[in-house]
Structure 1
Amino acid sequence: MKYVIGIDVGTSSLSGILVNERGEVLTSASESYRIITIKSGYNEQDPVDWYNAFCKVAKELISYAPDISRNIEGISFAGQMHSLVRLDDEGNAIGNAILWNDTRTKQECERITKEIDVIKITKNKAVEGFTLPKILWLQEHDFESWKKTKTILLPKDYMVYRLTGNKVMDKSDASGTLIYDFKHECWSEEILNHFDLDLGIMPKIVNSTDFVGHMDALLCRKLGLLTIPKVFAGAGDNSAAALGAGIFKKGDALLSIGTSGVILAFEDDIDVDYKGELHYFHHSIERSYYSMGVTLSAGHSLSWFKNNFAKSISFTDLMNEISEVPIGSSGLLFTPYLNGERTPHTDATIRGSFIGVSAEHNLKTFTRAVVEGITFSLKESYDIMFENGIELERIVSTGGGARSVEWLQIQADILGVEIKTLQSAEGPTMGAAMIAALGLRWFESAKECGKSFISYGESYVPSPSNHKKYNELYKIYKQIYSNTKDINMQLKEYRK
C-alpha cells in the first residue's frame, strides 16, 4: 500500500493526516504552539515552532504501522495565509512571523491604497492581514531587521524550505500577498518597484501540485523514514480546504468556521472583478479561482464567550441548549468584531456589540446570539457574491460550525442554501493530502481524486419560514456597524 501525508500549518496548531491510495485516513496527529501577543493587535509566531511541531506530528504518523516508513511517497502542506516569514542570507528565520490576524498595519494599508491601484493588479484591496503591509511596516519601524531579509515566504513555504532547501510559493498563497499580478500570474514589478522591493527576495511561483524537491535525507532518518518522499508545493489553507471539501464547480461553496470564518465560492473566470469587496484568489486546482469573504473572529467569538462566561460547561452542552431559544435570541443581536473586521467592512478599529440586552436574557440566549451573529456576518459576504451573479447550489460546512447540529441548521436557515457536511473533519489537511496524491499522478483530476478521498455526511435544508424570519432580523443586524462605528473610534484610546 502507498501513502501520502497532508499537513496544515494552522494558527494554533500543526495538524497532519496519513492517507492511503484508496483515500482512507488511517491516523491523524496535531501539536499546538503559542501565539505571541506583545500588545493589542500584534500577533506573531516563531517559525521554528512550526518545524518542531511538524517533526513530532510526522513521527507519530509514520509510526502508525510497520509498513508506513518505507511506503510514504509524497507529502504536501496547507498553511495559514498572508503571514510573513523572513529568511536571512543563511536561510535562517529572522525574528517571528507576523500573522494573518495581526492588525498593526492600518497606516500602511492607507498608504498602499493612496499610492497605487492595487486592486487592479492583484484583485484585492489592502487590508491589515495581507503580506505587503507587513513588509512596509517593517521598513518603517524595524528597518535594521528588514535589511537582513533575503527571502520572504509564507508559513507552508517555510516548511517546504526546511524539508527541501527550495524557496517556492504556490499561486493560491502568492495571490494573497498583495504583490501578485493576478492576470499575468507573476510577481508584480509595478508594485515591487513602487515600494523599492527587490524581485530577488520573492520565491519562485509554482502550481500547488508541482513537485518541488525531495525531503532532506537526514530529516527522513530523524523521523524514521526508510524512503525519501517527494514534496509538493501545497496551498493556502482555504484553497486546500476547498479542495478537500470537493469545491470543484460553479455553484459550490465552502463555509469554514475556525478561529476566523470563511465563505468561499468556486470561480472559473480570471477576469472577474469584485472591486476589492471580496478577496479573489487562485484555487489549488489549475485555472480555477475562488471569491471569498472573511469574518475575523468567527469561532474565536464563541470560544471567547465560553471561556469567559461558561468555562465549566462543555461546548456540546452549551450548543445543545440553543435549540430551546427562539430565532432572534429573544431580541438579542451580536456582532463578532472582537479583533476588527475583514469583510465587508475592512475595519481594524470596530469592536463587537451585544444589542438589545434585557433582564430576560440568560446564558442560552447570549450563546444563540453569538452563533447567529457569526452566521449573519458570513451572510454579508454571500450577499456580495449573489449580487455579482453567484448563485450557490450547496455549501459544504467545515470546522467548529459543522460540529453542532443546531448551528448547521441555523446556517441553512440564515443563508437559504442546503448545507452539507463531511464525514471526515480533516479540512485543509485533506486538501494537502489530495495535492500530494495529484502530484504523484495517482489520479487524473481533482474530481477523480475526490471520489476516493471525500465522503459527505448529513445535509441540512433551509426552512422557508425560518429563512423569512432571519431575513427580517438580518436587516436590523446590518444597521449595527454604521451605528457603532463612531462610538468604537472614540473608545479606541481607552483600549490597552
Structure 2
Amino acid sequence: MSYVIGVDLGTSAVKTVLVNKQGQVAFETSESYPLSQPKPGYSEQNPEDWVEQTLVSLGRLLEVSGVPAEEIQGMSFSGQMHGLVLLDQDHQVVRPAILWNDTRTTSQCRRIEQKLGGELLQIARNRALEGFTLPKILWVQEHEPDNWSRAALFLLPKDYVRYRLTGDLAMDYSDAAGTLLLDITAKSWSETIATAFDLPLSLCPRLVESFDDVGGLLPEVRERTGLGETTRVYAGGADNACGAIGAGILSEGQTMCSIGTSGVVLSYEERKDLDFEGKVHFFNHGEKDAFYIMGVTLAAGYSLEWFRSTFGKELSFEALLSGVDEITAGADGLLFTPYIVGERTPHPDADIRGSFIGMDASHRLPHFARAVLEGITFSLRESIDILRESGKQITEVISIGGGARNETWLQMQADIFNARVVRLENEQGPAMGAAMLAAYGSGWFDSLADCAAAFLRTSKSYEPDPDRAEQYNQLFVIYQEIYNQTADLNRRLAAFRG
C-alpha cells in the first residue's frame, strides 16, 4: 500500500491526513497552538509553535496508523495565507509572525495606494488590504527599525514549516500571489513594487510550482516523526488554492463555496486579462498556469458563531438551527447583513457593521437564525454575481466547510445562488488538496484533474426551487441596498465604539 500526507497549517491548529491511492483518508490528527493578540487589532503567532505541533502531529499520525514509513511516498502543505515570517541572514526568526487577520496596517495600505496608484492592480491584481503581506513588511520597516535591519528574507507560514522540515527555502506561486509583491501573470517578483518601497528583491524567496519536489526530510525530522528517507516533500499551496484542489475546482466554470470562519466563493480561471477593478481577488492557482477568482465574506461562519454565543450560548449548533426549515424564505421580512467585523467583497470596508433589518414582535429565535444563514449566503451571492458578470456560466457550486453540514443551509445556497449545490462524500478541505499535490507530485496521476476524478465523490446535490429562487432574487435586491443605506451611519457610530 502507498500513501501520501497532506499538512494543513491553519490559524488555530495544524491538521495532518494520511491518504491512500483511492483518495480515502486512512488516519488524521490535529494539534492546536496559541494565538497572541498583544494589542487591539494585532494578531501574531510564534513560528516555532507551528513547527513543534506539526512534528507532534506527524509523529502521532505515524503512531496511530501503524503504516510503515517506506509506504509514505510524499507530503505536501496547505497554509494560512499572507502571514509574515521574517528571517535573518542565519535563517533565524526575527520577530513573531504577523497573521492574515492582523489589522494594524491601514496606513501602510494607504501608502501603497498613493505610491503605486493603478500600477498595483495592473501588476499584483489585488487591492492593498490589511491582510496582505506587503503592508506588514512596511509596518515593520516603519515601526521596528532594529528588526528591519536584521531582516534578510521573508516567508509565509507553511513555507517556514516546510523549510524547517527540509532545509529548503522557497515559496509557491499561489501563496506568493497573496503578498502584493508578485507580478501575477508574469509569475515573478515585481521589481517595480519592491523598488517603490526600497525593498531588495533578495528579501523574496525563490518561486516554485505547488507540485514541485523541494527535497526530502532532514535527519532530525525523520528521527522525531518516524518518517523515512523515501518520503519526498512537495511545495504545497495557499489554503484557498488547496481548498480548490481538494474540491476538484480544476477546470473552467468550476466554482466552490467554502464557509468557515470567513466565507469564500472561488472559481477556476485561465483568462489573464480579466479586470475586476479589485472587487474580487485574482490569484495564481496550484494548477500550473491557471488562476482563481475569489470573493470573501469576512464573517461567514463567524456570524453564526457570534449569534449562537450571544443569543443561544447553551445551545448546540444543531439545536440553534432546529426549526429553521419551518420558517419561510425571507424569515418573514427579517434581513441580516454579516458585516460584524467589516467586509471584504464587494465592499472592502473596515468600518461597516452588521444589521438586523425588519424586526417586529412576531420574530422568534428561528427567524433570527434563518436570517443569519440567509444574510451570509446573500453576501456570498454578491461574489457569485461578480463572477457571472465576467461571463462565467455558474450552474453548479461545490459547497465545503460548515455550510455543507446542514441540509437546510445547502438547499438555501442552491435557491439563493440559483445553481445546483453539491456536497462531497469525504470533504477534507485544504488538507486533501495538499495530499493531492503530493499524489500528483509522486507520479500517481498524470494530472491534478485525474487525481480529483479518482479521489473525490459526490455525496448529494441540491437543485434550486424556482419559486424560492425568484423570492430570493427579490429579497437580494433589498439586501444589496442595506450597505449604502447604513455605511454613513456606521462611520458616524465608529466614534462611539469601544
How far 1:471 moved relative to its partner? 0.9
Cα RMSD, aligned residues only: 1.4
Whole-Å separation in 1 of the counterparts to 2:179 and 2:49: 22
Map of 2:254 onto structure 1: 252
Unpaired stretches in structure 2, ≥5 consecutive residues: none
* Counterpart for residue 408 of structure 2: 406
Distance in 1 (alpha carbons) for counterparts of 2:329 and 2:22:
43
Q: Which residue of 2 aligns with 1:451?
A: 453
CA deviation after TM superposition for structure 1 residue 22, in Å: 2.5
> CA deviation digits over 1:377-420, x for unaligned, max 9?
11111111111111113110000000100110111110101000
The TM-score, its normalising length taken from structure 1, stands at 0.97
- Distance (whole Å) between structure 1 residues aligned to residue 68 and residue 415 of structure 2: 45
Contact 1:7–1:432 under 8 Å retained in 2: yes
* Counterpart code for 2:417: L
Is 2:81–2:156's contact at 8 Å kept on the other side of the alignment?
yes
- In the alignment, what sits opposite 1:353? 355
Q: Please report how far the alpha carbon of residue 320 of structure 1 lies from its aligned counterpart in structure 2 after TM superposition.
A: 3.2
What is the deviation of 1:270?
Answer: 2.1
Distance, in Å, in 2 between the alignment partners of 1:404 and 1:476 is 26
Q: Deviation per CA, 1:97-134, whole angstroms, max 9, x where unpaired?
A: 21112222222112211211200011111111111111
2:315 alignment partner, one of 310, 313, 316: 313
Matched, 1:5 2:5: yes
2:345 corresponds in structure 1 to 343
Find the counterpart in structure 2 of residue 16 from structure 1: 16
1:366 corresponds in structure 2 to 368
After the TM superposition, which parts of structure 1 deviate over 6 Å for at least 4 consecutive aligned residues?
Answer: none
Task: Show the counterpart of 2:108.
Answer: 108
Counterpart CA distance in 2 for 1:18 and 1:131 is 31
How far off its partner does 1:92 sit?
2.3
Which residue identity is paired with 2:41? G
Q: Aligned ranges for residues 10-159 of structure 1 at < 5 Å? A: 10-116=10-116, 117-159=119-161
1:199, CA displacement in angstroms? Answer: 0.6
Structure 1 residue 195: deviation in Å? 0.5
Query: Mean Cα displacement is larger for which, 88-97 or 416-425?
Result: 88-97
User: 1:495 corresponds to which residue?
Assistant: 497
Count of paired positions: 496
Q: Secondary structure at the match of 1:63?
A: helix
Name the aligned partner's letter for residue 120 of structure 2: V
How far, CA to CA, are the matches of 1:355 and 1:44 in structure 2?
36
Q: Which moved more, 1:193-202 or 1:129-138?
A: 129-138
> In structure 2, what is the Cα distance between the partners aligned to 1:86 and 1:308?
38
Q: CA deviation at 1:66?
A: 3.0
Q: Does 1:277 align with 2:283?
A: no
Q: 1:323 offset after TM fit, Å?
A: 0.7
Partner deviation per Cα, 1:4-23 (whole Å, 9 max, x = no partner)? 10011112221110011222
Are the equivalent residues in 2 in contact too, given 1:71–1:227 (CA < 8 A)?
no
Pairing 1:369-388 to 2, within 5 Å after superposition? 369-388=371-390
Measure the CA separation in 2 of the matches of 1:40 and 1:478: 30
Q: Against the structure 1 CA distance between its residues 214 and 463, is the aligned structure 2 distance closer, same or farther, given a 3 Å change threshold? A: same
Residue 221 of structure 1: aligned partner: 223
1:185-235 superposed Cα distances (whole Å, 9 cap, x missing partner)? 100000000011011111111000001111111111111224452111000
Q: Could you list the per-position Cα deviations for residues 44-93 of structure 1 after superposition, in whole angstroms to 9, with x for gaps in the alignment?
A: 22222211221221112111333332321111000111121111222222
2:471 corresponds to:
469
In the other structure, the counterpart of 1:478 is 480
Counterpart amino acid of residue 7 in structure 1: V
Shift in Å, 1:437: 0.7
Q: Which amino acid is 1:203 matched to?
A: P
Is the partner of 1:29 in helix, strand or coil?
strand
Letter in 1 for 2:40: S
**Could you tell me how far apart the structure 2 residues matched to 1:279 and 1:80 are?**
16
Partner of 1:435: 437
- Partner of 1:320, secondary structure, is coil
Quote the Cα distance in structure 2 between the aligned partners of 1:342 and 1:362.
Answer: 30
What's the CA shift for 1:490? 1.9
